[in-house]
Amino acid sequence: MQDIISNFESLSEDKTSKYAGEWVAIVNNKIVVHSTSFKEVYDFIKKNYQNEKPLIGRLPEANPIVLSIS
């Protein structure tokens, strides 16, 4: 389970900013694929990283997020 922590902690501010709003997959502390489409990211890691446990997530947008403005 340490892979998940290591991959997560490798997510630096330059990556969260560069890929804001996109799905990313991280393997061995590197972003190996990014896309606005989850399916593209998932298909890529299924094809190329079958024996790995990538960390997948959608980075939040580079705008302030609020629950409600009404």
Partner 1 sequence: MSFSFKYKAVQLKSGKFIFRPMIPLAIGEEKINVFRILDSGSDITIIPKELAEVMKIDYGSENEVSGISGVPVKSKEGRINVHFGKGREFYNFDIPILVPEKEGLNFIIGRLGFFEMFKIIFLEAERRIEFKKINLG
Q: Interface residues with partner 1 (CB under 8 A)?
A: 1, 3-5, 7-9, 11, 13, 16-17, 20, 37-39, 42, 53-60, 62-70
Q: Which residues pair with 26 in a beta bridge?
A: 31, 55
Nearer to partner 1, 1 or 51 (CB): 1
CB of 56 to partner 1, least distance (A): 5
Residues whose CB is less than 8 angstroms from the CB of residue 11 and which lie 6 or more positions away in sequence, other chains included: 26
CB of 14 to partner 1, least distance (A): 8
CB of 35 to partner 1, least distance (A): 11
Please report, as a single letter, which amino acid is at residue 47. K
Nearer to partner 1, 32 or 57 (CB): 57
Q: Give the 3-state secondary structure percentages of the chain, helix then strand then coil, rounded to 5.
A: 35, 20, 45
Number of H helices, E strands in the chain: 3, 3
